[in-house]
Chain A
């Protein structure tokens, strides 16, 4: 059994924590001793995160039910809180839809309790929890994962914005998707909420019944998937521009509903080189499309 691992990435600024399927990249800004404290707090908290989740995994893989047993873990409760409103509206969603964002949030919270930082982020595989002190801002590039990823826009978040969570979901990530979006990036008040919303919006970008969409039961792809026999997208053929826009519009309508309900601040949806954005006029937290910012320290991605 491999234990959790902590290491600084080349360059010495970014802390990498890994345990099983969880990879966190953490970067902090502030006085050196504060940063050091924050890093120690992150490592200490991270140590038991996966064990806590595994202890309640059965329950976390089921849709939330008011009658079911209570969840104990702090991360698990964050997950549940994020998905509950969507489940209450009838969407099929399990707390696992928010796991990455919830872990990022939990670790960041412990860092901020232990230390005063100007700025920090915890990036859990693309789902990011943010801390922005007065006057700080956070720039991030969005990568639309198609056949070949391309940088497809940028997001700027300022301290005055309410946004503290960014999440991306889609067909090319590690999780299975019921929709065809290459990726959906969501800005929300919390990383867990952004994560859950991105998952659902990526599902919403879809063309039901379209012959180019290839689907298989989730368990046929990953036998322990929390999606069970539900169909997930396993392949996508040629689409016309009309098809692409129709699929994106379905997602966009869902995103506008989430925004109107106050659950998310903005969403950018990508499919086959086209994109649509849901955001409020006048917000300074914006998704700019298309942009030309290179993702920092571009990670090599394998096909």
Chain B
């Protein structure tokens, strides 16, 4: 051993096997199964158990000391859910799933079938919160030059990408399959992925992080264009101010000319806007695009105004100018020469400006994993796969993906979507086929499991599963606990499990 290997104090000795590795912080032992995580010995490969968040617990060590191997009764059973992350799979064998775990939840005997599915029919839907043009609909989306998906129908305030899928994974060239698999794995595991769109932009997306479009980070989603903002807030401004201009690179809105202002009976103010008038109260191109007010290049909003019309405007006229995100605003009063002079924003107007800002959510890329559980996977749960499908339809079986809620698409089969950001870290793997390996759990009452032809002989108690579990995490970001009563037909009028 080298000198360096004997003097670093943060090393710990692993006693899991006779090799007795000294493991430095952040490193793994010779087996790659045990690692030193900030001075604690943890297991890094196996089955993952979620603990319902209590305080801010993170990874719970598998062993905390030499003698004290972990005790199964430290956490109350209802707070524990055995996920399929690291569970492995028995596919393609017609065999019970790796773990079929029973536990009593609030007086109800529940069974969770835990397996990792190998999905070649799978992909992700990515929602990119931006109004920027990413590329034309149907345009190819590429990673490392290979097509890995396409631009699909845009949604309000967001551009949508459909990535992966069986045709790119296994239907194209070997490289296309590899690159697609790699891209899906990275996106699902929360890593950033660089994509280029034919005839459009190059973007970097990562689950639950702001998108970077052509090198610029998108920060906020505006509530609407300038004109729409006038429509939404006209009533809140009425009586407090004589004129409002919402500055926007796309369509700048002017309250007194806008239909919403007319309806309220707001009088003409003699305001004159630079730029091209589209319809009353709506102006295109008041400035050049940039990173100033409302996506324009201006920092002083008065630069988009021409002189007020002296035949209409009156001294003392009150003017609010605000950007579409509410991040910038200015309040002005016309002097005797009809020139706007800045004043402090009156307290009564402040809520309306704050509300615009409040309605501009942070721009994110969000990633939903979508896949279908085929017959072989379902056979891991039951001898008659279609019965599992029916049980899911009948709301007797709840589907989760690494403990995160899965939306099951109506119709045949079990085609589901899950938000990868609600799943534990590194939940996804792959096989060389190529195909994605993702956790999937089916939870139901014991009697319902028996009724659908479940592998009753393979059921083990949760304590036994916990002894096999190496990784335990608190269920941070979980909006929903998989065993909550409301997921089940029988539990919907009985309130919730604790």
Cβ of B64 to closest chain A Cβ, rounded Å: 16
- 0/1 interface trace, chain A 209-222, chain B, CB 8 Å (1 if under): 00000000001011
B95, closest chain A residue (CB) = A10
CB neighbours (8 Å) of B95 from chain A are: 10-11
Q: How far is the CA of A224 from the CA of B30 in the complex (A)?
A: 9
Q: Tell me if B16 and A301 are in contact (CB < 8 A).
A: no
Q: How far is the CA of A295 from the CA of B437 in the complex (A)?
A: 16
Given A303-B185, A303-B189, verify A21-B429 contact (CB < 8 Å). Answer: no
A228 at the interface (CB under 8 A from B): yes
CB neighbours (8 Å) of B185 from chain A are: 148, 303
B184, closest chain A residue (CB) = A148
Q: Is the interface of A mostly helix, strand, loop or mixed?
A: loop
The contact of B182 among A148, A222, A224, by CB within 8 Å, is: A148
Given A20-B16, A147-B182, A300-B116, verify A223-B431 contact (CB < 8 Å). Answer: no
B178 at the interface (CB under 8 A from A): yes
Q: Is the interface of B mostly helix, strand, loop or mixed?
A: loop
Q: Tell me if B93 and A50 are in contact (CB < 8 A).
A: no
Q: Tell me if A303 and B429 are in contact (CB < 8 A).
A: yes
CB neighbours (8 Å) of A58 from chain B are: 1
Cβ of A18 to closest chain B Cβ, rounded Å: 9
A4, closest chain B residue (CB) = B17
B4-23 contacts to A (CB < 8 Å)? 4-5, 8, 11, 15-23
B118 at the interface (CB under 8 A from A): yes
Given A151-B432, A300-B437, A302-B426, verify A2-B17 contact (CB < 8 Å). Answer: yes
B396 at the interface (CB under 8 A from A): no
Q: Tell me if A1 and B15 are in contact (CB < 8 A).
A: yes
B90 at the interface (CB under 8 A from A): yes
Q: Tell me if A223 and B27 are in contact (CB < 8 A).
A: yes
Q: How far is the CA of A151 from the CA of B185 in the complex (A)?
A: 18
- We find that the number of chain B residues with CB closer than 8 angstroms to chain A is 48
Q: How far is the CA of A222 from the CA of B1 in the complex (A)?
A: 11
CB neighbours (8 Å) of A222 from chain B are: 27-28, 30
B56 at the interface (CB under 8 A from A): no
CB neighbours (8 Å) of A302 from chain B are: 45, 426, 429
CB neighbours (8 Å) of A57 from chain B are: 19
Q: How far is the CA of A57 from the CA of B17 in the complex (A)?
A: 14
Q: Tell me if B17 and A20 are in contact (CB < 8 A).
A: yes
CB neighbours (8 Å) of A299 from chain B are: 431
A85 at the interface (CB under 8 A from B): no
B488 at the interface (CB under 8 A from A): no
Q: How far is the CA of A303 from the CA of B437 in the complex (A)?
A: 11
Given A51-B18, A150-B174, verify A223-B430 contact (CB < 8 Å). Answer: no
Q: How far is the CA of A174 from the CA of B21 in the complex (A)?
A: 15
A229 at the interface (CB under 8 A from B): yes
B2 at the interface (CB under 8 A from A): yes
Given A146-B178, A148-B181, A148-B434, verify A223-B16 contact (CB < 8 Å). Answer: no
Q: Tell me if B22 and A11 are in contact (CB < 8 A).
A: no
Q: How far is the CA of A2 from the CA of B177 in the complex (A)?
A: 40
B272 at the interface (CB under 8 A from A): no
B106-147 contacts to A (CB < 8 Å)? 116, 118
A294 at the interface (CB under 8 A from B): yes
Given A1-B18, A50-B19, A303-B189, verify A148-B433 contact (CB < 8 Å). Answer: no
Q: How far is the CA of A51 from the CA of B20 in the complex (A)?
A: 11
B31 at the interface (CB under 8 A from A): yes
CB neighbours (8 Å) of A20 from chain B are: 16-19, 30-31
CB neighbours (8 Å) of A273 from chain B are: 175
Q: Give the residue among B8, B32, B88, B174 with the most A Cβ atoms within 10 A.
A: B174
Q: Tell me if B432 and A148 are in contact (CB < 8 A).
A: yes
A19 at the interface (CB under 8 A from B): yes
A281 at the interface (CB under 8 A from B): no
Cβ of B443 to closest chain A Cβ, rounded Å: 22
Cβ of A289 to closest chain B Cβ, rounded Å: 13
Q: Tell me if B182 and A149 are in contact (CB < 8 A).
A: no
Q: Tell me if B23 and A10 are in contact (CB < 8 A).
A: no
Q: How far is the CA of A146 from the CA of B174 in the complex (A)?
A: 13
A32 at the interface (CB under 8 A from B): no
Q: Tell me if B32 and A174 are in contact (CB < 8 A).
A: yes
B192 at the interface (CB under 8 A from A): no
A-B contacts, 27 listed (Cβ < 8 Å):
A1-B16, A1-B18, A11-B93, A20-B16, A20-B30, A21-B17, A21-B31, A51-B18, A58-B1, A147-B178, A148-B179, A148-B182, A150-B178, A150-B434, A222-B27, A223-B11, A224-B30, A228-B2, A229-B2, A273-B175, A298-B118, A300-B88, A300-B429, A300-B431, A300-B437, A301-B429, A302-B426
In the A-B complex, the 4 residue pairs with the closest CB atoms: A20-B17, A21-B31, A223-B24, A21-B30
19 further A-B pairs in the complex, CB-CB below 8 A; given A1-B16, A21-B17, A302-B426? A1-B18, A20-B30, A21-B29, A50-B19, A51-B18, A61-B1, A148-B179, A148-B181, A148-B182, A150-B434, A219-B4, A222-B30, A223-B8, A224-B21, A224-B22, A224-B30, A298-B431, A301-B432, A303-B185
